[in-house]
Structure 1
């Protein structure tokens, strides 16, 4: 009897499965195929539970909780090039960004101080020249004790760590 086997693919491909016939010349019988499909369905159900529980680990932060999370802290934005861009959110409502260490002086003023505030579920900020002086607002989700993800009102998103 031909058996259809289900094997894990290398660890570089999480949640991927490879099906193979142990006897390449014969076709699997219906019972074997149904057993394999049931195993795959159970795996898919378990995977969705694991993924959903991981998603619930993210916690949206807003209002006074957002202010407490950010005020008086340094937020280090992850950059696509592997560095971090620090923003210092002072309790007096000022925010200072400093990209000097990232070599950003070639592109714009590497250090600038603006203002920040919380508006409902959004963290908003405005700098004198950065972003043409326009207000930018972000939704924040806490992903760990000192880590967050953010989505700016224009759809840009990223991650950061908080210190202080």
Structure 2
């Protein structure tokens, strides 16, 4: 005779094994592999506090191009720049030729939806972005 407690334990184990936990949690930082797969060859549009979007193109091979021309940033800084990008640990890193005085920054990325990201830079600055396939 099988005891009810044993049946319940076996059922609980079967349910736990059947649940697909391989998908990343929506609030979990992306892994290095997820970052590379998501960013490489894509245009990422950083949302700005004043309503516009700032496009960055992450070329395969580690080159990133940025343009602030549509936002009128030419009055404040060089309107376009090129830099390099790479994945270090589970963070996206980039370094521009002139923007930010060539300082290197790394970002933790969290997927917010199929084409949405939240990002936090290593100095604490944070925001959101959309990815254009």
TM bucket, shorter chain: 0.7 to 0.9
| Partners of 2:54 and 2:68 within 8 A in 1 | yes
Deviation at 1:58, TM superposition (A): 2.6
User: Deviation digits for residues 125-162 of structure 1, max 9, x if unmatched?
Assistant: 00011111010000000010000000000000000000
The structure whose RCO (Cα within 8 Å, separation 6+) is larger is 2
User: Deviation digits for residues 29-68 of structure 1, max 9, x if unmatched?
Assistant: xxxxxxxxxxxxxxxxxxxxxxxxxxx5333212111100
- Aligned residue pairs, count: 109
Q: Following the alignment from structure 1 to structure 2, what is the Cα–Cα distance between the partners of residues 57 and 138?
A: 17
> RMSD in angstroms over aligned alpha carbons?
0.9
The corresponding residue for 2:42 is: 73
User: Deviation digits for residues 71-112 of structure 1, max 9, x if unmatched?
Assistant: 000000000000000000000210001000000000111100
Q: Following the alignment from structure 1 to structure 2, what is the Cα–Cα distance between the partners of residues 136 and 158?
A: 14
| Partners of 1:95 and 1:113 within 8 A in 2 | yes
The corresponding residue for 2:74 is: 105
* Bigger Rg over Cα: 1
The TM-score, its normalising length taken from structure 2, stands at 0.80
Question: Do residues 118 (structure 1) and 77 (structure 2) align?
Answer: no
Write out aligned runs for 1:151-162 (5 A).
Answer: 151-162=120-131
The corresponding residue for 2:107 is: 138
The corresponding residue for 2:55 is: 86
Q: Following the alignment from structure 1 to structure 2, what is the Cα–Cα distance between the partners of residues 145 and 122?
A: 19
Q: Following the alignment from structure 2 to structure 1, what is the Cα–Cα distance between the partners of residues 58 and 109?
A: 14
Gaps (5+ residues) in structure 1?
1-55
| TM superposition outliers: structure 1 runs of 4+ over 3 Å | none
